[in-house]
Structure 1
Amino acid sequence: MPRRGKRRRNGASHENHERWLITYADLITLLLIFFVVLYAMSQIDVKKYDTLAESLTHQFRKADSVVELGTGITGAVDRSKYETPPPSATPSDDPQRDEDRIKEQELQDLLKIIQQYVKTNHLEQQVFVEDTPKGIAIRLSDVFLFDLGKADLKKPALPILDRLSSLFDKLDTTISIQGHTDNLPIQAGGSFQDNWGLSAGRALSVLRYFVDTRKVVEDKFEVAGYADTRPIAKNDSEANRQKNRRVEILVLRQATSNEG
């Protein structure tokens, strides 16, 4: 009996003290795997990244949105849900703005055409054209258009009026024909009693040529005679008075109302 007990005590004393190597080996293996994963992650596959990004974007857009008429998490506006484009989308979505832009282009084209005509025919001393806030102003000297104190058109003036009538016929705007004089009184015995009658008569002669002879639609025009009330130069010399004796044709940017 004593000997048997001694054998058991000797067997218990031979315990394995190297089991920690297993844990250590597992730890080393896990660390190796961890570094391999880090290395693999550091090598970006561009194609796979793009595919992932596209997939996420698609899912975000497909998801419900809290934005009215929007789609996706980002709330981007889905324009296909509008029957007509949003009113504030672009300037071209405003019909009135488009119409104004077309009219302005027509005026600028008119300005260039008349300027070229004046230059080609050497009419710089008789015809002056400029772009004003109200519209394109065409100023015709009275010496070029009429004899002194009269309102009958002279033949040398007809070609420029013919050219203007061909351009006016294509415009959808109001054309104002305005007669002006200097401040000298009308001589007795003439066709007109005063400068008011002379300025109005000259404007009417130009209008009748456009309407009666050239057959331009009369609704395009308005006529006024201002006598000497709107001078462009002081009436203190013959040269300045000559500048004030004129017929101005103003192609307006904004149409005027003829309603009473």
Structure 2
Amino acid sequence: MPKRKKKQHHEDHVDESWLIPYADLLTLLLALFIVLFAMSSVDAAKFQLISKAFNDVFTGGTGVLDYPSPVPEGQKENLDRKNDADNNNQQKDKGGLGKEDQKELSQIQQKVNAYIQEKNLTGRLATKLTDEGLLVTISDKVLFNSGTADIRPEDQKLASEISGLLVMNPPRSVVISGHTDNMPISTSQFDSNWDLSVMRAVNFMKILLENPKLKPQWFSAKGYGEFKPVASNSTEEGRAKNRRVEILIMPNENNQ
């Protein structure tokens, strides 16, 4: 009988030579991404983090990206300053003070606090750093008699001294606001607490502007009546806290 020929089994091998140029293409794309990122970003710290991450994945933590800084030494200081300014502006966009504003306003606050201690005005004057700026609160009993908007003659010297604390370099915008409690008022001079609060702010501002070192264009006056209380009007103590004049020293426009 004729011998049967054994069938020969040939395994088909897939040509994988395409993997080499494909890998090269991925490497080039990765390099291009890193270069574009480096050109578009000034945040050196973020660049280093991303560079390290790519090195860890593709080279086990070592490679050409493993440098102490991607920024030439001569430019690093300028980038640091720009990053600080960007962070300052981002903080303001969120409704808060930037680092530079906080530093400068804190220095002004220290000067005002030193004056308060020197003149034994604790409890009658107070300072607070807020998101809007440095707030100086003055109790109404320091400046006014009940139901009036005229600064008492014996307190005009105090107002003049406060004006000296507002002489700043560079100058800043200052907002003077008047506040009252919710006890109704109706006199021949004032129809409401709103009228009273406005005139108290204006009259106090006029005393401040007698200082020749202060310019009117830096100042504005507002009256809120009883509509921005800081305490409950249900007690005499709370109403006393609500009767006040506030000085808001705004952030420096050059820091914005």
1:250 aligns with 2:248: yes
**Alignment partner of 1:250: what SS?**
strand
What is the correspondence of 1:195-214 to structure 2 with a 5 Å cutoff? Answer: 195-214=193-212
Q: Does 1:125 align with 2:115?
A: no
User: Structure 1 length normalisation: TM-score?
Assistant: 0.60
Query: 1:105: how far off?
Result: 2.4
Q: What amino acid does structure 2 have at the position aligned with 1:212?
A: E
Asked if residue 186 in structure 1 is aligned to residue 185 in structure 2, the reply is yes
Aligned residue in 1 for 2:166: 168
Tell me if structure 1 keeps the 8 A contact 2:125–2:136.
yes
Task: Provide, for residues 25-60 of structure 1, a one-character-per-residue CA deviation record: whole Å limited to 9, x for no partner.
Answer: xxxxxxxxxxxxxxxxxxxxxxxxxxxxxxxxxxxx
Q: 1:219 and 1:210 mapped to 2: Cα distance? A: 13
- Which residue of structure 2 aligns with residue 231 of structure 1? 229
* 1:161 CA drift (Å): 2.7
The CA deviation at 1:195 is 0.7
**Kept after mapping to 1: 8 A contact 2:133/2:249:** yes
AA aligned to 2:232 is K
1:222 correspondence with 2:220: yes
Instruction: Give the deviation of 1:149 after TM superposition.
Output: 1.2
How big is the shift at 1:235? 0.8
Kept in 2, the 8 Å contact 1:165–1:214? The answer is no
Q: Distance in 2 between matches of 1:153 and 1:214?
A: 20
* Post-superposition CA distance 1:58-113 (Å, at most 9, x none): xxxxxxxx9989xxxx6886849x9xx47972135766778965443221111111
Segments of structure 2 that go 5 or more residues without pairing to the other structure are: 1-31, 39-63, 90-97
| 1:144–1:156 Cα contact (<8 Å) kept | no
State the 1:154 CA deviation. Answer: 1.9
Shift of 1:204: 0.3
Q: Which amino acid aligns with 1:175?
A: V
Query: Which residue matches 1:45?
Result: none
The within-5 A match list for 1:71-82 is 79=72
Local SS of the residue matching 1:128: strand
2:243 partner amino acid:
R
> Where do 5+ consecutive residues of structure 1 fail to align?
1-65, 256-260
SS in 1 for 2:209: helix
Sequence identity percentage = 26
Report matched runs for 1:1-260 at 5 Å.
Answer: 79=72, 85=75, 89-91=79-81, 101-170=99-168, 171-189=170-188, 191-253=189-251
* Alpha-carbon offset, residue 194 of structure 1: 1.1
Decide whether aligned partners of structure 1 residues 156 and 109 sit closer, same or farther in structure 2, where only a CA change above 3 A counts: farther
Alignment TM-score, normalising by the size of structure 2:
0.60
**TM-aligned CA deviation for residue 188 of structure 1:** 2.9
Check the 8 A contact 1:87/1:93 in 2, yes or no.
no
Paired residue secondary structure (1:177): strand
Tell me the CA shift for residue 174 of structure 1.
Answer: 1.8
Aligned 8 A contact 1:128 1:140 in 2: yes
1:141 and 1:243 in contact (8 A); partners too: yes
Q: Deviations over 1:159-190 (max 9, x none)?
A: 4433332232214322111100011111433x
| 1:118 Cα deviation from its structure 2 partner | 0.8
Amino acid across the alignment from 2:235: S
Q: Which amino acid aligns with 1:89?
A: L
Name the aligned partner's letter for residue 117 of structure 1.
Y
Indicate how the Cα distance of structure 1 residues 196 and 169 shifts in structure 2: closer, same or farther if over 3 A, else same: same
Alpha-carbon distance in structure 2 between the residues aligned to 1:195 and 1:214: 31
Superposed CA RMSD in Å reads 3.2
